[in-house]
Chain A
Amino acid sequence: MAVIRFLGVALILLLAAGLVHGAAIEVREFDSPVLEERYKSLTASLRCPTCQNQAIDDSDAPVSGDMRDRVYAMLQDGRSDMEIRSHLVERFGDYVLYNPRLEGRTYLLWGLPAGLVVLGGVLVALLVRVRRNASARALSDEERARLDALINRGRKS
């Protein structure tokens, strides 16, 4: 009984997994697992030009299919990842790159987070220094007398 229930659950899980990956993605043959990994990472990092936010590896749009075909053909041709990316950018524009390239007009984009972290660090350092100086200030005579009085009162009781 338990075995049958286990098999039933396994079947349902398998079907569900199939549903999650609903896009009609072609079956590709690769000569080496390395090539297959490169194909996967390339198609996951290229953005479908007609969709709002989908990589070409899980988009059903016809243009995504054409782009996957091109990536596959160029991989089989022995082209580098860089060449394949530029090939597609030359046709479809920078929009297809999920990671924009580092160039003149993207310095701000890539530099801003690091810049903000540095700025935050400087601010914290400044605040710590200001606080430390404030607490290290010597006591005035009046404050010293009051402190003595407080300590002595504690001793007596």
Chain B
Amino acid sequence: MTRRLLLMLPLVGFLVLMLFLYLGLGLNPFHRESKLVQDARQFPAFELSTLEDPERRVDESVMRGEVTLVNVWGEWCPECKREMPQLLDLADRGVRLVGVNWKDTREKGRGFLAEFGDPFAVNVFDPEGDLAFELGVYGAPESFLVDADGVIRYHHTGYISPSDLRDTILPEVEKWQ
């Protein structure tokens, strides 16, 4: 009897592998766990000018004080246009937003805000992508939720859809208030 059971071992092994394959197929291949959220890291240090005023320098302290959604965007990014209504909605609900204008020109960035609305308290101008690199941004739009102490708590890659706003962004904002 035990010999029979032993003969089943390869089949059991095969089924276990199939289970892993099945679970793997269900994963979203574009999902990446952000290292900064895993380690609950402080928002990285930077010093850049704002999109609005080349003379005004801002640093990481601009992210502190209250729960802030930092949104990395660019005029060249079509998905960023699609998520603007959701960001304006967030701003209407009293959530503080800070923009990072990534690899853009001042002219185009300002034109974008004039056309699609400006939900941001301030926009950090990052033409070389230095700040975005520190954040591990690999494609716009990406959003980071920063708590009042400047710790990165949540990372959203890609476009924020109306259902993402309702089901993940707002609850996360609530959670870290």
Contacts and interface: CB of A to CB of B under 8 A. Distances in A.
Contacts of B138: 49-50, 61, 63, 92
A113 B103 CA distance: 44
B33 A66 contact: no
B29 A93 contact: no
Interface residues of B, number: 16
A31 interface: no
Nearest to B36: A91
Contacts of A100: none
Nearest to B31: A95
B5 to A, nearest CB: 15
Nearest to B41: A90
A63 B102 CA distance: 12
A32 interface: no
Nearest to B103: A62
Q: Per DSSP, are chain B's interface residues mostly helix, strand or loop, or mixed?
A: loop
A93 B37 CA distance: 10
A93 B103 contact: no
B127 interface: no
Nearest to A91: B136
Contacts, number: 34
Contacts of B133: 66, 70, 91
A93 B36 CA distance: 8
A93 B139 contact: no
Contacts of A66: 129, 133
Contacts of A49: 32, 136, 138
B99 to A, nearest CB: 19
A91 B29 contact: no
A59 to B, nearest CB: 11
A89 B139 contact: no
Counting from the closest, the 5 A-B pairs by CB-CB distance are A91-B136, A49-B138, A63-B138, A93-B35, A50-B138
Interface of B: 29, 32-36, 38, 103, 129, 133-139
30 contacts: A49-B32, A49-B136, A49-B138, A50-B138, A50-B139, A52-B29, A61-B138, A62-B103, A63-B137, A63-B138, A63-B139, A66-B129, A66-B133, A70-B133, A89-B35, A91-B35, A91-B133, A91-B135, A91-B136, A92-B32, A92-B35, A92-B136, A92-B138, A93-B32, A93-B34, A93-B35, A93-B38, A93-B136, A94-B35, A95-B32
